[in-house]
Chains A and B, each alone.
Chain A
Amino acid sequence: MFVLVEMVDTVRIPPWQFERKLNDSIAEELNKKLANKVVYNVGLCICLFDITRLEDAYVFPGDGASHTKVHFRYVVFHPFLDEILIGKIKGCSPEGVHVSLGFFDDILIPPESLQQPAKFDEAEQVWVWEYETEEGAHDLYMDTGEEIRFRVVDESFVDTSPTGPSSADATTSSEELPKKEAPYTLVGSISEPGLGLLSWWTSN
């Protein structure tokens, strides 16, 4: 689920923090910059693991702060393909089942990857697995808050950095809010035996 990522960055320490130990200031700045943020094509950054190398700190003319090039390792949430994860159902919509891990929310299980046959109950807005046995069909509901085991089948990174000012035509529709896209989304699947709500597979 978590990987270590080696990165290099230049950290700026303002003069009023010069009394603190350099390592502490740098750790705080790196966490301030990266914690809980998604880095494009890398994953969701959790926290600093360690600082591997500090190069010389320079002070540039016009800016009283010191600039230090830092080599460090960061703990990043980036599940590998086909990894099994356990999360909680956040809700259901016609697009599929939305799953959350607490610290990461943008996981979707599309309808075609649910245990088949599945149908969407419009009245209760919930997906249902129509499980067939000899006695007849059982309707297994995928309720909000239930723990669910799923396999990661796809991930997508979207570059959400701001684009430049748009052309004159676009400004007329400035009333509409731009659609907020999640920078990092996972696509899951529960179409195998053992996957789905934990309560479906426990034999108590």
Chain B
Amino acid sequence: MEVKDANSALLSNYEVFQLLTDLKEQRKESGKNKHSSGQQNLNTITYETLKYISKTPCRHQSPEIVREFLTAMKSHKLTKAEKLQLLNHRPVTAVEIQLMVEESEERLTEEQIEALLHTVTSILPAGPEAEQKKNTNSDVAMDEEDPA
């Protein structure tokens, strides 16, 4: 076996999530040979990877959202690796931006960091836990109104 190019392209977590979900669907349809010993490794790795990615914000992304995000990012002049990290992690605080963008104190002013955070949080949908938190918050608000 020969490796021709060990780094031919970077994949976002969303793309891998999509690929594994499609693969799972395909294999569910063809049914019979999932449990043969040879396929056990594929089953394990797809299950674990899908489990990991499902807990990240990438779960709710779509090709249109990713395209919109990359177009919006053009003005900020970030490297490919930095944009990929922002896409995969969806940072909500300035501290996280400083971790993902190299030398952010020198390259970005405070307003630019705020603008970047705003773009990220408005275009990319929140992760599954944030959705849950939003729902429980609205439940609590309703409970407080009743006794009054």
Question: Interface of A with B (CB < 8 Å)?
Answer: 1-9, 28, 31-32, 35-37, 39, 41-42, 46-47, 49, 71, 73, 75, 77-78, 80, 82-84, 86, 101-103, 149, 151, 192-195, 201, 203
Contact = CB atoms under 8 A, between A and B. Distances in A.
A83 B81 contact: yes
A36 to B, nearest CB: 4
B1 interface: yes
A4 B9 contact: yes
A49 B52 contact: no
A47 B16 CA distance: 9
Interface of B: 1-13, 15-16, 19-20, 23, 33, 38-39, 41-42, 44-46, 48-49, 51-52, 56, 81, 85, 88-89, 93, 95-96, 98-100, 102
Most buried by B among A5, A42, A192: A5
A102 B49 contact: yes
Nearest to B46: A47
Contact of B1 (A3, A7, A195): A7
Contact of B100 (A47, A84, A103): A84
Nearest to B15: A2
A1 B1 contact: no
Contact of A35 (B12, B16, B42, B98): B42
Given A8-B2, A102-B48, A32 B98 contact: no
